């Protein structure tokens, strides 16, 4: 199960599908002597991305306070001095700090797979997908990615509703690039557990993405609502370097090109 879900009533379904399901699969792999796995992980395992304070260097911000979000203060602050932080690239060795139920289940998948690899001598390549979009996304549901939600709104003649102030930075990567990353991971000569960002290295704001999709579809302009979701994080900007060096993967599809394709693509 993917996405933010509806509320905590979803929690048992997330854990049973994502974590118990993974445990059953790993046990059967061990029994059958299967020694290699490519895991569809996610950038959500990082929680917030990486940040720096001008005075105190690299910092890990606390979860954003509800009072700040209600007041429209969306940027995280330095936990030492309260000053604003600068978003920087998050690499695979960054601390893992899941901040939603979905994120917690994705990190648990990584831990289960790593334990399986240690005990069996097997190999796991965990691909930490960033914001994937493209043909085949589900239509507008609480479990869709934001691109599919915006696409569904535009098809219905409605403006995409952009949460917060639209300045959240993400790395949107086309599913065609993601597919290539999986093919490369299948043939990579790795041992034990390895994790890789699957990202373009070209961050964009959520409002940038909404505007690109609106332009491609010729629909009504995005509306910035100021609404928020507690499980969301502000900025997650990936370093694609490890995947390029070790897997030979580099995303090729630019956001404008990908959104033009997505505007016409079939959805589930």
Would you list the DSSP string of 31-90?
A: HHT--EEEEEEEGGGGSS-EEEETTTEEE-PPPPPHHHHHTT--S-B-TTT--B-EEEPB
Phi, psi of 51 (to 5 degrees): -140, 160
102 part of the active site: yes
Kindly state the greatest CA–CA separation across the chain.
Answer: 55
Q: What is the three-class DSSP state of 116? A: helix
Q: Residues 75, 50, 179, CA angle at the centre, nearest 5°?
A: 110
Set 14, 102, 129, 133: catalytic member: 102
Q: Residues 63, 66, 68, CA angle at the centre, nearest 5°?
A: 90
What whole-number distance in Å separates Cα of residue 20 and Cα of residue 247? Answer: 29
Nearest to 124 by CA among 136, 142, 139, 112: 112
What whole-number distance in Å separates Cα of residue 217 and Cα of residue 204? Answer: 19
Active site residues: 102
């Amino acid at each position: 199960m993917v996405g933010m879900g509806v509320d905590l009533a979803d929690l048992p379904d997330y854990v049973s599908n994502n974590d118990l399901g993974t445990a059953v699969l790993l046990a059967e792999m061990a029994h059958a002597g299967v020694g290699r796995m490519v895991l569809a992980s996610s950038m959500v395992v990082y929680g917030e991305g990486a940040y720096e304070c001008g005075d105190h260097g690299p910092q890990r911000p606390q979860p954003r306070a509800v009072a700040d979000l209600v007041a429209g203060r969306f940027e995280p602050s330095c936990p030492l001095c309260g000053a604003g932080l600068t978003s920087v690239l998050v690499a695979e060795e960054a601390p893992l700090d899941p901040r939603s139920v979905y994120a917690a289940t994705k990190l648990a998948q990584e831990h289960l797979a790593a334990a399986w690899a240690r005990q069996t001598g097997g190999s796991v390549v965990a691909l930490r997908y960033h914001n994937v979009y493209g043909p085949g996304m589900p239509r507008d549901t609480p479990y869709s990615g934001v691109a599919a939600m915006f696409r569904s709104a535009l098809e219905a003649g409605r403006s995409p509703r952009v949460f917060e102030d639209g300045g959240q930075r993400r790395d949107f990567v086309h599913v065609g690039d993601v597919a290539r990353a999986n093919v490369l991971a299948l043939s990579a000569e790795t041992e034990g557990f390895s994790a890789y960002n699957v990202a373009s290295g070209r961050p964009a704001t959520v409002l940038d993405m909404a505007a690109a999709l609106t332009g491609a579809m010729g629909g009504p302009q995005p509306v910035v609502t100021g609404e928020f979701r507690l499980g969301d994080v502000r900025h997650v900007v990936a370093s694609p370097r490890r995947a390029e060096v070790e897997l030979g993967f580099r995303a090729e599809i630019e956001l404008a090109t990908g959104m033009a394709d997505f505007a016409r693509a079939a959805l589930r």
